[in-house]
A and B are shown apart, each in its own frame.
Chain A
């Protein structure tokens, strides 16, 4: 384990200096996104600027999205570094832009999404996957921008199926209680040669639905973009709106959010433990982990009035405060249940053997694909949005848990370490004082970036408000979006069919977060 204090800004200045040397760059202040250093890059230097940033040690592509900011679509890239975020804006003339995923592979998912929503695409004409919109999406289907002149005929980028390999379809309807998700598995019979995903079956157009709403109205939908990260995505969205309006939540409300966020991490890690047991066929372990999960959910309901912690975060602060006495009394028992189950599992060879050397990702893969959360930390990367969240996490710094193996076992061990740290943090925040209070949202508009560390990694949100305080464009990027990008790589790493449910449980992602 390593304790890391938030670092002073510095990387952004260095990056901006390097970008300035390229020319075609303007550092914007007025009207720029608050919460990140914003630079406007001309289209002709976008490719070179992306090379510079992607090649800088310690940076990763956190998100890429478009909006109809003016006459032409604006392409925004959000880069995370050790002390915060750098955001580039480029106005795209015509319908093409440089193939950025050739430079930063993390960008491929967003290239597909942007083409579906805004009809602009990488200039090389490389095949794009169908990502968000279903095949029957006609001209009237709600989109954030324009419909592509040439809709995707192919459902996915062509896959080479050579030799004895064949394609094995699985889903979208899977076992009871599991989200709709389609796997296209390319296999030679047992080994996974390739894998691609369709997640559009549950696309709900959340970002489209947010337009025209006030942040107070929109939080209801934002926290449902990925229900199992309701606090994290809600916090990221609220923080983006607060940054846009230039306000900060009261300290007691920020600690309330932090308590809810750590409770969210606890129940998700318990659920992932149960899923790992199910995937490895250990029904006794699964039951033990599910008992812990149910106790944690009941603690949530008793402390905050909702099992999944909906309705806690509100733009400007928090609407519900925890019952501190109850949390201090009930949480140790519920967490102890999880710890007992986990300790027993770690002493069970048949369990540990299935996790070890399964679904391996290297630190370099994780960095290039922009992976976040326990998946990235299990490769040794020190990636945790809580290091830059400030507020309660500056008062009481988090001890970030990392591991080196990059396999399922390493991810499980990171989750267990994080669960213990969450219990410690909750105690500290309760001692410091929590409250349900809000700073009034002032009139006016602006743009802001917000983030929070969900159980499955960094959740990001970007919000643009008009002068009436209504949303022009809101971008929600749950942690799942980033980590699905690494799922196929993990499955391909010399694994067989029966490893896939184990790898999926260790990633503990949602299809909803991707298909929002």
Chain B
């Protein structure tokens, strides 16, 4: 029996690590937004909801609803509210359930 098979059974490793090595080109990929709840006000939330072309953002009361499955990482929200929205740098978005891609972000910024 090949050695790699025995080693795999003993260590529980069936394939190579993922990723085998860091992918440098990933840094250039557009990534979905990350939000700073402390900088988010209702006005800011409404502004970024209005500029989102793919309806990935919605406001429900004092929560911002963000659907990473609908977001195209176009960057319009970060451009509209640079203090409250940044690029997440997260490009591996796979999830086992669709609902895991929908996030609620509390709006806790002080309304001026």
Please determine whether A301 and B53 come into contact, CB atoms closer than 8 angstroms: no
If A217-B53, A220-B53, A221-B53 touch, does A311 touch B29 (CB 8 Å cutoff)? no
Closest to A219 in B: B53
Please determine whether B74 and A302 come into contact, CB atoms closer than 8 angstroms: no
- The answer, yes or no, to whether B30 is at the interface (CB within 8 Å) is yes
Say which residue of A298, A306, A310 sits within 8 Å of B25 (CB atoms).
A298
Question: B28, B29, B74, B75 — which one has the most chain A CB atoms within 10 A of its CB?
Answer: B28
Say which residue of A298, A301, A307, A310 sits within 8 Å of B74 (CB atoms).
A310
0/1 per residue, B62-104, Cβ < 8 Å to A?
0000000000101100000000000000000000000000000
Query: Which residues does chain A contribute within 8 Å of B54, judged by CB atoms?
Result: 220
- The answer, yes or no, to whether A305 is at the interface (CB within 8 Å) is yes
0/1 per residue, A304-344, Cβ < 8 Å to B?
01110011000000000000000000000000000000000
Q: Shortest distance in angstroms between B53's beta carbon and chain A's nearest beta carbon? A: 4
Please determine whether B74 and A305 come into contact, CB atoms closer than 8 angstroms: no
Please determine whether B53 and A302 come into contact, CB atoms closer than 8 angstroms: no
0/1 per residue, B22-34, Cβ < 8 Å to A?
0001001110000
Query: Which residues does chain A contribute within 8 Å of B74, judged by CB atoms?
Result: 220, 310-311
Please determine whether A311 and B75 come into contact, CB atoms closer than 8 angstroms: yes
Please determine whether A306 and B30 come into contact, CB atoms closer than 8 angstroms: yes
Q: Which residues of A from 172 to 224 have beta carbons under 8 Å from B?
A: 217, 220-221
Q: Shortest distance in angstroms between B24's beta carbon and chain A's nearest beta carbon? A: 9
What interface size band does chain B fall in? Answer: under 10
Please determine whether A298 and B53 come into contact, CB atoms closer than 8 angstroms: no
Q: Shortest distance in angstroms between A311's beta carbon and chain B's nearest beta carbon? A: 6
Q: How far is the CA of A217 from the CA of B53 in the complex (A)?
A: 7
Query: Which residues does chain B contribute within 8 Å of A221, judged by CB atoms?
Result: 53
If A217-B53, A220-B53, A221-B53 touch, does A301 touch B75 (CB 8 Å cutoff)? no
Please determine whether B28 and A302 come into contact, CB atoms closer than 8 angstroms: yes
Q: How far is the CA of A311 from the CA of B74 in the complex (A)?
A: 7
Query: Which residues does chain A contribute within 8 Å of B75, judged by CB atoms?
Result: 305, 311
Please determine whether B53 and A305 come into contact, CB atoms closer than 8 angstroms: no
Q: Interface size on A (CB < 8 Å)?
A: 11
Q: Shortest distance in angstroms between B19's beta carbon and chain A's nearest beta carbon? A: 15
Closest to B24 in A: A298
Query: Which residues does chain A contribute within 8 Å of B29, judged by CB atoms?
Result: 301, 307
Q: How far is the CA of A217 from the CA of B28 in the complex (A)?
A: 25
Q: How far is the CA of A307 from the CA of B54 in the complex (A)?
A: 19
Q: Shortest distance in angstroms between B86's beta carbon and chain A's nearest beta carbon? A: 14
Query: Which residues does chain B contribute within 8 Å of A307, judged by CB atoms?
Result: 29
Q: How far is the CA of A220 from the CA of B25 in the complex (A)?
A: 25
Q: How far is the CA of A301 from the CA of B31 in the complex (A)?
A: 12
0/1 per residue, A274-298, Cβ < 8 Å to B?
0000000000000000000000001
Closest to B53 in A: A220
Q: Shortest distance in angstroms between A316's beta carbon and chain B's nearest beta carbon? A: 15
Query: Which residues does chain B contribute within 8 Å of A301, judged by CB atoms?
Result: 25, 28-29
Q: How far is the CA of A114 from the CA of B34 in the complex (A)?
A: 44
Q: Shortest distance in angstroms between A211's beta carbon and chain B's nearest beta carbon? A: 15
0/1 per residue, A73-99, Cβ < 8 Å to B?
000000000000000000000000000
Please determine whether A302 and B30 come into contact, CB atoms closer than 8 angstroms: no
Query: Which residues does chain B contribute within 8 Å of A220, judged by CB atoms?
Result: 53-54, 74
Q: How far is the CA of A311 from the CA of B30 in the complex (A)?
A: 11
Query: Which residues does chain B contribute within 8 Å of A311, judged by CB atoms?
Result: 30, 74-75
Query: Which residues does chain A contribute within 8 Å of B72, judged by CB atoms?
Result: 310
Query: Which residues does chain A contribute within 8 Å of B30, judged by CB atoms?
Result: 305-306, 311
Closest to B54 in A: A220
Query: Which residues does chain B contribute within 8 Å of A217, judged by CB atoms?
Result: 53
Q: How far is the CA of A310 from the CA of B74 in the complex (A)?
A: 8
Query: Which residues does chain B contribute within 8 Å of A310, judged by CB atoms?
Result: 72, 74
Q: How far is the CA of A217 from the CA of B25 in the complex (A)?
A: 30
Closest to A310 in B: B74
Q: How far is the CA of A269 from the CA of B33 in the complex (A)?
A: 32
Q: How far is the CA of A307 from the CA of B72 in the complex (A)?
A: 13
Q: Shortest distance in angstroms between B15's beta carbon and chain A's nearest beta carbon? A: 21
Closest to A220 in B: B53
Q: How far is the CA of A221 from the CA of B72 in the complex (A)?
A: 12
Q: Which residues of B from 23 to 54 have beta carbons under 8 Å from A?
A: 25, 28-30, 53-54
Query: Which residues does chain B contribute within 8 Å of A306, judged by CB atoms?
Result: 30
Q: How far is the CA of A154 from the CA of B21 in the complex (A)?
A: 55
Closest to B75 in A: A311
Query: Which residues does chain A contribute within 8 Å of B28, judged by CB atoms?
Result: 298, 301-302, 305
Q: How far is the CA of A36 from the CA of B74 in the complex (A)?
A: 33
Q: How far is the CA of A167 from the CA of B28 in the complex (A)?
A: 48
Q: Shortest distance in angstroms between A474's beta carbon and chain B's nearest beta carbon? A: 15
Interchain residue pairs with CB less than 8 A apart (22):
A217-B53, A220-B53, A220-B54, A220-B74, A221-B53, A298-B25, A298-B28, A301-B25, A301-B28, A301-B29, A302-B25, A302-B28, A305-B28, A305-B30, A305-B75, A306-B30, A307-B29, A310-B72, A310-B74, A311-B30, A311-B74, A311-B75
- Chain A residues engaging chain B, CB cutoff 8 angstroms: 217, 220-221, 298, 301-302, 305-307, 310-311
Other than the given A217-B53, A220-B74, 17 more pairs (CB < 8 A) read A220-B53, A220-B54, A221-B53, A298-B28, A301-B25, A301-B29, A302-B25, A302-B28, A305-B28, A305-B75, A306-B30, A307-B29, A310-B72, A310-B74, A311-B30, A311-B74, A311-B75
9 A-B pairs with the lowest CB-CB distances in the bound complex, closest first: A220-B53, A301-B28, A302-B28, A298-B25, A306-B30, A305-B30, A311-B74, A301-B29, A301-B25
